[in-house]
Amino acid sequence: MKHADIPPPAELTAPTSPGDGVRLLRILGEWSDSGFAAPSQILTLKTLTREVGSVRFSDANYKWLTGYLRSLKVEKNLSPSSIKHRIQALSRAIDEYLRHHVNVKISNPVKLLPKGYSTYTDLDAQMAKAKGGKVKVNVARDRRLLPGEHEKIVAVLSGYERPDRSRGLELKGGDALLTLYLLILNTGLRLREAYTLTRGQIDMQNKVIHAKETKQWRGKISYRDVPMRPEVHQTLSLYFASRPPFEPDAHLFPFLNEEGVEEGKKGLVRTSQRLSFRFRIAFEYMDIVGLHEHDLRHEATCRWLELKDKDGRDLFRLEELNKIMGWKPGSVMAQRYASFRGVDLAQRLWPAPEAVEASVAAA
């Protein structure tokens, strides 16, 4: 080429940057195999690999990313939370790759995205509707138990049969599901933390539950102490009294055995799914609409926050609540989980008529 005065192709003369030939397939795979990705993120990484694995890292710039975002909204019509899961997983994978390849001059395009990138813009909405989709929005979970719902749930989990139904629920394990419900409602334990409890984790004398954390990975095992409310202590006392003595390492609840699974990862996932389903069936049986098992943890958070001492002050500081619920120090999860009903707040402003009359008489 040189002797024929033919210029060489630009690909041969242009300086190359480390990482130019790398595809997102490799970057996503390295993050997935690193052991640092959360277990809940693995499935998202597999989806990303399928969708964008063939893209070269050098081509994964901001323009490409905005196009991918639009396809998630218009073509796949995903909710903002699902979009966030994908983009955050992609960002963590790229960050991990860049940490181990300091010579790569390509930056992480996710860092350039504006706040609210997962929300549908007006243009996104028009394009999604034109494709037969709809505008998806995040639905905040602020569902709390309404008056009378708790009594209905206790009734159906105690064996109540509706007269307009041919039969009631099949309650395997007797009062085990009822006890699990009351335990979660009055402690805020996560579902898996509750049904995997062993007898040795229950300290009836000191009124403390040593809950094994589930929000952890990388081989870490930790516990947190959850104080028992009087309702919990009474519930567990009745539960223990109706059964033979437990060995310290014996599970309180029979749900793992009922499903015929071991306490491995797959067994835990299956048991959690089955228990969530059983709770949903119980709620629907009593015509309780829109309530999910995880909403009980939200309800428990609100109940902890609403506890007052004799002088009307909060019984627990926010730092203590974070410890009880298994959140990190300084976490804002309490604000996210708090759902104070307007009717309850109004009652504080408008005391009962008898109290008003007594106040007027005293004046």
Between the two ends of the chain, the Cα-to-Cα distance in Å is: 106
Enter the pTM of the model: 0.77
Q: What is the mean pLDDT of residues 254-264?
A: 71
CATH numbers and ranges of domains, the chain? 18-130 (1.10.150), 149-346 (1.10.443.10)
Q: What is the mean pLDDT of residues 333-339?
A: 81
What is the pLDDT at residue 357?
59
| Residue-level pLDDT at 217 | 58
Query: What was the pLDDT predicted at 221?
Result: 78
Which own/partner pairs from 274-278 qualify as long-range (CB within 8 Å, at least 24 positions apart)? 275/177, 275/180, 275/191, 275/195, 276/191, 278/177
Q: Mean pLDDT across the stretch 226-251?
A: 95
Q: Which residues pair with 209 in a beta bridge?
A: 202, 226
pLDDT of amino acid 99: 92
Calculate mean pLDDT across residues 195-220: 87
pLDDT of residue 38: 80
pLDDT band at 263 (very low <50, low <70, confident <90, very high): low
- Top-confidence residue, 213 or 209: 209
Percent pLDDT > 90 in the chain is: 62
3-state secondary structure (DSSP) of residue 301: helix
Q: How confident is the model at residue 229 (pLDDT cuts 50, 70, 90)?
A: very high
User: Following DSSP, what letter does each residue of 150-181 receive, concatenated?
Assistant: HHHHHHHHTT---TTSS-----TTTTHHHHHH
23-32, 80-89, 164-173, 244-253: segment of lowest average pLDDT: 164-173
**How distant is the alpha carbon of residue 154 from its chain centre?**
25
Supply the pLDDT for residue 296.
Answer: 95
Q: Do 140 and 269 meet the contact criterion of CB atoms below 8 Å apart?
A: no
More confident residue, 331 or 113: 113
Categorize the per-residue pLDDT at 209 as very low, low, confident or very high, splitting at 50, 70 and 90: very high
Q: Is 92 helix (H, G, I), strand (E, B) or coil?
A: helix
Confidence check: pLDDT of 262 > 70: no
**pLDDT (tens digit per residue) in 148-160:** 999 999 999 999 9
Q: How confident is the model at residue 12 (pLDDT cuts 50, 70, 90)?
A: low
**Pairwise CA distance, residues 109 & 52, whole Å:** 14
Alpha carbon separation from 97 to 16, 111, 208, 255 (Å, rounded): 18, 15, 43, 41
Q: How many Å apart are CA 164 and CA 87, to the nearest integer?
A: 49
Q: What is the Cα–Cα distance from 271 to 259, expressed in whole angstroms?
A: 7
Cα separation values, 270 from 10, 81, 98, 189, 265, Å: 55, 24, 36, 18, 9
pLDDT mean over 64-87: 95
**Three-state SS at 73:** helix
State the DSSP string of 118-134: TS--HHHHHHHHHTT--
Rounded CA separation 258/30 (Å): 38
Cα–Cα distance, 148 to 124 (Å, whole number): 42
Does the pLDDT at position 5 exceed 70? Answer: no
Q: Please, what's the b/e burial string for 91-121 (b: 16 or more CB within 10 A of its CB; e: otherwise)?
A: bbbbebbbeeeeebebebbbeeeeeebbbbe
